[in-house]
Structure 1
Amino acid sequence: MDFVLNPDRERFQLTLVMALLVNGRTVLEDFAWAAGVERFANALKEFGLDYVQQGHQLVLTGKGFQYDLPSLLPIDFDEECNVMLWTLASKDVEQIYTFAAEADDAGIAQVASAKETLQKYFKVKAVSDEPAKFTFTFGYDEPSIKKDSLGNVAYIMRNRLLLRGLLRSDYITFEEKSTVHDQWTKMLMYFGVKMKYEGRGMEQLSELERRMMIARGQKVERTQFTEMAETKVITAREYYVPGDATEALAFALLTTISSLPKTAKVCVKNVDLNSSRAGALTCFKRMGASFETVSRRERYGDVYGDIEMFPLNPGKRLQGRRFSEDAIATGVKDYPFLAVAACFAEGETILRLPKECRKELRPINDALAENLRKTGAEVGVYDDGLVIRGLETVVNGSDFDGGEIPEIGLALSVLSIALENDEPVAHREVVEKRFPGILEKLNQVMNLKNEKQESEEK
C-alpha cells in the first residue's frame, strides 16, 4: 500500500522566501500545497513574489534583492515565518515599519507577543508604542550570536543570520557542535550562494598538530563549520519539496504497533530524509522498528526517498532506549511519537529534551503523560523530559485528547487507531488542519488487517 504525504511545511516556507530572492523563475516540480503555506505565499506577495500553478508545477517569479518593502508587517504567523518576513524588511534601516492589530485584548496581546519576538532577534528603535500598534525602525547592528546548550545556533536565529547576511552582502562564519534543521543552509548552497558548509575535526589538523594534541591529552571534537561570502545574484533553479517526515513517522509507528498481518507492507513516497530534520525516524529505528529506505535520491541540494515499512516479526518487541538532548533536538516536535512507541517497548525509555525548551514543554509533557498512562504504561515526567516503562501487550487506552499541539494529537491518533478505538481523539480538527487527510490515510492502513481477516474467512 503506497501513500503520498503532504509536503514538508518548514522546507516549503523557506522555498518561498528563496523564490522571492531569485532574479527570475523558480519551478516547483510535482507541486502540492502544504497546510497554511499558501497564506504565507500571499504574505510574500506584499514583498513582490508572484506565483501561478501550471498543472503539477508551481511557477514562482521573484524580484531578486530589489523586492518591495511593505510598511505594515505581518505578525500572525508562527515565530519562524514571522522572523523570516521581518528579516526581509530589515534590509532597510531607514523605513518606518508598523505592527498593528485590533484594539481589543486579543489584538493587544498579539502585538505584545510580536514585539517580544522582534526584540529577541533584532535591534530596533521605537518610533511610537501603543497597546495595539508598534511603529519602529530596524537597527543596522546585529545581536550577538548565542549558542544553545548543545553548542549550536538555534535554527531560527541561524536562518535569520544567513538571510540578513545575504541581503547585506556580509561575510559570516561560525562553528557548531552539530546542526538542527539545516534545510535553509543547503538550499542557499543549491541556489548558488557562495557558502562553505562542512564538518571539521582531527582531519583538518596537520600531523604535528595532531601529535601535540594527543601528547597533551586534548580531545578534538568534530564541529560543523559554516561560512558565507558576498553573493550578488541568485539564479533560477528547479526545486522539489519532499514529503513531511512527521507524517512518515506516523505511518511507521502505526505499522509497528498495530496488529497488522506479518505480510503487510506500507510505503510512503518521496519523504524528506534530511538527518537534521528527520531525527525522530532515526531514533525510532534504534528502538527496533522495521523500515528501510528503498529509493534514496540526492537532488536539489538535499536528500529524500521512499520508505518501506513492515510489522515487527512475531514475538519481537520494540526496545527501550535512552535518547540524549542532541538526538531529540533533530526531531523535537516529533518526540510524542517516540513516547507512544515507548509504551510498547521492552524496558525503559528516557527522552531527554534540550534545556532551552524544557520549561515550555513541561505542561505539554504532563498532558502527554496523562494520556499515555491510560494504556497502563508507567510514565514519569521529570525536569529533563520523560521516562516510560512499556508493556508487553497494550490492549487498553481510550478517551485520548491531543489538545492544541498537532504532533501530540497525531501521535495519540496513531495509538487510538492501532487500538481500534471507536471514538476519535479529542481535538482531531487540530490534526486535520496541520496534516490534512492524514487520519483517513492512516485508517486505510488498518484495511490491510481487515482484508486479511476477510480472506481467511472465505
Structure 2
Amino acid sequence: MEFLMNPDRERMNLTLVMALLVNGRTVLENFAWASGSEKYAEALKDFGLTYELQGHQLVLNGKGFQYSIPTMLPFKFNEADNVMLWTLASKDDEQLYTFAAEVDDAGIARVNTAKETLQKYFKIKVQKDEPAKFVFNFLRDELNVKKDSLGNVSSVMRNRLLLRALIRNDYLNFEEKSTVHDQWTKMLIYFGAAVKYEGRGMEQLSEFERRLMIAQGKKIERTQFTELSETKVITAREYYVPGDTTEATAFAVLATVGNMPKDNVIKLLNVDLNSSRAGALTCLKRMGANVETVSRREKYGDVFGDVEIKPLASGKRLQGRRFSEDVIATALEEYPLLAVAACYGEGETILRVPKEVRKEMRPKNEFLAVNLRKTGAEVGVYDDGLVIRGLETIVNGSDFDGGDSAQMGLALSVLSLALQNDEPVENMDKVEAMFPGVVDKLKNVLVAENAEKKE
C-alpha cells in the first residue's frame, strides 16, 4: 500500500519566508498546506507576501528585500516560526514594535512568554512594558551566540543568524561539530544566496598544519563550516515541500510492531530524508526494522524519497540499542515513537536527550512513561532520557493519554492500534490538529492487514 504524508510543517513555513524574500514568483509543486501553515502565510501577508492556489501549485509573489514591516508583531506561532517573523522585522532598528493582547490572565501570560523568547534571541531596547502590552525596538548589535553541548548552534538561532545577515547584507560565518535541521541553510543555497556550507577536516589543512597537529598530539575533528556573504537578490525558483518525517516514523513503527502479514509492504511517498532531520528512521533501522529508502531524489537543494517498510521476519524482534545525544538531536520530534518501538525491543534501549532540552523533556518523559508502563514494559526516567526494557509480547495496555503533546498522542495512537484497542487515546484533537488525517491513514493499514488475513 502507498501513502502520502502531510507536508513537513517546519520546511513549509521556512519556504513561505523564503518566498517573501524572492523578488518575483515562487511556485510550490504538488502543493498541499501543512498544519498551521496557511495561518503563517496570512501573517506574512502583512510583510507583503501574496499567493494564489492554481490547480496543484501554490504561486507566491514576494517583495525581495524591500518587504513591508508591520509595527504590531505576531507572536501566536511556535518559537521557531515567531523568531523568523521577528527577524524579518529586525531589519529596521529605528521602528518601534508592539506585542499586544487582551488585558486578562491569558493575554498577560502570552505577552510575557513572547517577551522572554524575544530577549533570548535579540538585543532590544524596551520602550514600554505594561500588562499585555510591550513596546520595543531592535538593536543592531548581536547577542553572544552560545553553542550547545554538542558543539552546535541551535537550529532556531542558526536560522535567525542567517536570515538577519541576509536581509542586512552582513557577512557571517560560524563553525559547528555537526548540524541539526539544516533545511534553511540548504534552501538559501538553492535560492541563490551566497552561502558556503561544507564539512572541514584533515583535507582543509596544509601539509605543514597536519604535521604540526600530529606532532602536538591534537585530534583533527571534522566540523561543519557555514559562511554567508553579501547577497543582492534571491532567485525565483520552483520548490517542493516533502512529506513529514514524524508521520513517516509513525507508519514505520506500526508496520514493524503491529503484526503485519509477512507479504504486506508499506510504501511512503516523497518523505523528507534530510539527514539532519530524519534520524528516527535510521534509529529504527539500527534496531532491526525493515525500513529501506527505495527511491532517493536529490532535488530542490535537498533530498527526499520513497520509503518502504516490510514486517519483521517470523520470530524476529526489534533489538534494544543505545542512542546518544547527537543521534536523538536529529529525532526529537519522534522521541515518543522511538520509545514505543523500544517497548517491543529485545533487551535494553537507552534514549539519551541533549543536555539543553533535558529540563524541558523530563516532565514529558515522566508522563510518557506512565502510559508505556501500562503495557508491562520497564521504563526508567532519568535526567538524561529514558531507559526501556521491552517485552516479547505485549498483550494489554489501554487508557492512554497524549496530554498536550501531539507527538506523544501520535505515538500512543500507534501503540493503541498495534494492540488493537477499541478505546481511543485521550486528547486526540491535538494529534488531528498537527497531523490531519494521519490516524485514519494508520487505521487503513490495519484494515488492509485484516482484509488480507480473511482472504
TM-score by length of 2: 0.99
Contact 1:374 1:397 in 2 (8 A): yes
Structure 1 partner of 2:350: 350
Give the Å deviation of 1:206. 2.1
The residue type equivalent to 1:78 in the other structure is N
Mapping of residues 12-51 of structure 1, within 5 Å: 12-51=12-51
The residue type equivalent to 2:417 in the other structure is I
Contact 2:155 2:181 in 1 (8 A): yes
Secondary structure of residue in 2 paired with 1:271:
strand
Give the Å deviation of 1:146. 0.9
Give the Å deviation of 1:128. 1.0
2: CA distance, partners of 1:177 / 1:424: 43
The residue type equivalent to 1:255 in the other structure is A
2: CA distance, partners of 1:276 / 1:43: 28
> Any gaps of 5 or more consecutive residues in structure 1?
none
The residue type equivalent to 2:363 in the other structure is P
Give the Å deviation of 1:21. 0.2
2: CA distance, partners of 1:94 / 1:210: 48
Structure 2 partner of 1:291: 291
Structure 1 partner of 2:167: 167
Structure 2 partner of 1:412: 412
Structure 2 partner of 1:208: 208
2: CA distance, partners of 1:375 / 1:31: 40
The residue type equivalent to 1:187 in the other structure is M
Structure 1 partner of 2:158: 158
Structure 1 partner of 2:318: 318
1: CA distance, partners of 2:216 / 2:116: 46
Q: What is the aligned residue count?
A: 455
Secondary structure of residue in 1 paired with 2:64:
coil
The residue type equivalent to 1:96 in the other structure is L
Give the Å deviation of 1:291. 1.4
Structure 1 partner of 2:228: 228
**What is the aligned-residue identity percentage?**
71
Secondary structure of residue in 1 paired with 2:92:
coil
> Any gaps of 5 or more consecutive residues in structure 2?
none
Give the Å deviation of 1:118. 0.5
The residue type equivalent to 1:319 in the other structure is Q
Give the Å deviation of 1:212. 2.7
Contact 1:25 1:61 in 2 (8 A): yes
1: CA distance, partners of 2:260 / 2:412: 18
- Structure 1 stretch displaced more, 388-397 or 240-249: 388-397
Give the Å deviation of 1:363. 0.7
Secondary structure of residue in 2 paired with 1:65:
helix
Structure 1 partner of 2:141: 141
Contact 1:261 1:448 in 2 (8 A): no
User: Which of structure 1's runs of 4+ aligned residues deviate more than 4 A?
Assistant: none
Give the Å deviation of 1:281. 1.1
Give the Å deviation of 1:204. 1.1
Confirm whether residue 194 of structure 1 aligns to residue 179 of structure 2: no
Structure 2 partner of 1:308: 308
- Structure 1 stretch displaced more, 207-216 or 100-109: 207-216
The residue type equivalent to 1:121 in the other structure is Y
Secondary structure of residue in 1 paired with 2:327:
helix
Mapping of residues 72-87 of structure 1, within 5 Å: 72-87=72-87
1: CA distance, partners of 2:163 / 2:312: 45
2: CA distance, partners of 1:149 / 1:417: 37
Contact 1:260 1:448 in 2 (8 A): no
Secondary structure of residue in 2 paired with 1:250:
helix
Structure 2 partner of 1:395: 395
Structure 2 partner of 1:56: 56
Structure 1 partner of 2:453: 453
TM-score by length of 1: 0.99
Contact 2:281 2:291 in 1 (8 A): no
Secondary structure of residue in 2 paired with 1:326:
helix
1: CA distance, partners of 2:397 / 2:371: 8
Structure 2 partner of 1:382: 382
The residue type equivalent to 1:25 in the other structure is R
Query: CA offsets, 1:314-360, max 9 Å, x none?
Result: 01110100010000001112111110001000110001100111011
Structure 2 partner of 1:273: 273
1: CA distance, partners of 2:346 / 2:158: 39
Contact 1:280 1:334 in 2 (8 A): yes
2: CA distance, partners of 1:279 / 1:382: 22
The residue type equivalent to 2:93 in the other structure is V
1: CA distance, partners of 2:69 / 2:258: 52
Secondary structure of residue in 1 paired with 2:294:
strand
1: CA distance, partners of 2:339 / 2:227: 37
2: CA distance, partners of 1:380 / 1:158: 33
2: CA distance, partners of 1:438 / 1:88: 33
Give the Å deviation of 1:216. 2.4
Structure 2 partner of 1:116: 116
Mapping of residues 80-119 of structure 1, within 5 Å: 80-119=80-119
Give the Å deviation of 1:452. 2.1
